[in-house]
Amino acid sequence: MSDIAGELARVREAFDKPTLRLLDRKWAPFVLAVFKSSFSRDRAAVQCERLHAQVDAYLADLRSIGTETPNGTGRSLCVQWMNDQWLYRDLGDDGEGGGTSANAEEQYSLTSHALEALSLVESLARDRALISESRLAMIVDAVRHRATQANPDRDERLRRLDLQIAELASERDRVAGGGEIAAASVEEMREGYANLIDLIGQLPGDFKRVEESVAAMHRQIVNDFRAEERPIGEVLDEYLAKTDALMSLTAEGRAFEGAFELLRDDALLHDLKGDLETILGHPFAAGLKSVERRSFGATVGLIRTGIDDVLTQRNGLTTTLREHIVNHDIVKDRELEGLLREINTELAIWMQTAGPKARVRAEIMPGNLDAPHLRERFYDPQSHVPPAPLADVSAQAPAAPSLDAMRRQGGPQLPEMREALLGALAALDASTDAADASIGDVFNALEPALRRPVEILGLMQLATQLDAVGHAGSVEQPEFDQYLTVRPDGTQRTFEVARITLTDDETAALAALNSGATSD
């Protein structure tokens, strides 16, 4: 029986992988064209909203020229491609140390499957490197190097080293003796460049596969940790061991560890950068496009970026493990386990008497406890100590003021002021016309006890009750009286008050007001 069945199974397994599923779809050219236009070596990730808008713009451009396109919007297509494992969405770094923050935005990046598909299409779209001397020489050199490393025979190793030394010494002597140095032709350099591009083009997919392998291990370890039912000590020992051997558990991780030992050599990378610049300085590079020159010259940056991405993913895994180990609270787990056990016991007791459709009302959140007020502070005897007795300072008290002194410090004396005002107006009426005398003239003629500054307010109150303030001179040219007041301490002060005169009727109203009669 032939092995066609086994081959068919292997081919079907290959076609089930996202890479070939992408190439086998009807809209594969459109999807790969979008990926090629949106992502590059310099732009490995694109913000989600920006990629949605770009895909919408690509759809509109193609539809405007009559090209058939898939149905859907940019957002729906990106979500579909993410579910098909061609796009990967995560939080981008915040630019500060490479970590993430609350302000980080979601972004898309190509998976290793999409990168493989792009690499395959790119290799088919450009001129393939045909069989040539440089290609065969590269193969022969690689085979010789690996054979030397694989052979443990000491004598064979020395023989190979002696041959290499002899060849290099002979070439050095020839060049040192003035031998001709023939630069590689344009055709030879073009063939070698094509071989290098094939190898360099595989680097992004290789790095991405390692990163995805570490991410898958990350998810698997976290899920195992959360579902772990073994003793906590055994769990910690196993996961610490996994952390130590993190990169050796997968084929991609082991390959990366071997390459990392080589690529961490800064001197090697520096020499590689110089060799790339030398190649671009050859005349054949004049026929390269600016994009090809820039991409070829950025090979060292591509290598460094790939290493940083893998190391960042690995550091995220170790950080997650450490946080799970540190934050795992076995006491809370035991309390929860005891509570669930008590619930199961109560349910078993309840089921002994409950019917098939019996229900128990359970609150999602427990209610408030009706607990009495608890003291917030302990009894302090110092809080109940009476204050110290007041000192007797009665001997230092000043002499008490007399009733007459307190009255002099008080408000206006309205009754005395009315009597004095009527008496003064009667005296003026006997000698001259009382209508020409103002209240200010009367005030200045009173005794000092009734000429306090506050008595002016008493006079204004009496005049207001008599409606005498309304004709206290004209508004355009008001007249003022000088009120000579005497304070209780004997000092004098002069105030200017609008001139107010009383008519006979107002004087009669003042007398009636003084005797307690009412007037309108």
**pLDDT tens, 213-272?**
777 777 776 666 666 565 555 655 666 666 556 556 655 566 566 566 666 777 777 777
Q: Where are the beta strands (DSSP E) in 183-261?
A: none
Position 97 confidence tier, pLDDT thresholds 50, 70, 90? very low
Kindly state the average pLDDT of the residues 202-209: 72
First to last CA, the chain: 140
% of the chain surpassing 70 pLDDT: 76
The token pair at 369 is 């406890």
Buried b (16+ CB within 10 A) or exposed e, 15-49: eeebbbbbbeeeeeebbbebbeebbebeebbbebe
Q: What is the pLDDT of residue 495?
A: 92
4-94+103-112 sits in which CATH class?
Answer: mainly alpha
Helix (H) or strand (E) holding 311: helix 299-327
- Residue from 220, 221, 210 nearest 250 by CA: 210
Range of lowest pLDDT (94-103, 214-223, 348-357): 94-103
What tokens appear for 321 in the block? 């493990």
Is residue 222 within 8 A of residue 324, CB to CB? The reply is yes
Spatial CB neighbours of 320, under 8 Å, sequence gap ≥ 6: 218, 221, 222
Is there a contact between 470 and 444 (Cβ–Cβ < 8 Å)? Answer: no
Token duo for residue 503 = 């008519």
In the chain, pLDDT over 90 holds for what percent of residues? 2
* Mean pLDDT comparison of 97-111, 129-143, 221-235, highest-scoring range: 97-111
Residues paired with 45 in a beta bridge: 109
* Each residue's pLDDT tens digit, 30-79: 888 888 888 877 777 888 989 999 999 988 888 888 888 888 888 889 98
Kind and range of the H or E run holding 115: helix 112-125
**Residue 89, CB half-sphere, CA atoms under 13 Å: how many?**
16
Question: Quick one: pLDDT band at residue 387, thresholds 50, 70, 90?
Answer: confident
Tell me: pLDDT of 511 over 70: yes
Confidence of residue 433 (pLDDT cuts 50, 70, 90): low
Other C-beta atoms lying within 10 Å of the C-beta of residue 481? 21
Q: Report the C-alpha gap between 251 and 113 in whole angstroms.
A: 17
Lowest mean pLDDT among 106-110, 202-206, 340-344: 202-206
- 3-state secondary structure at position 200: helix
CA-closest candidate to residue 105, choices 41, 59, 51, 58 = 51
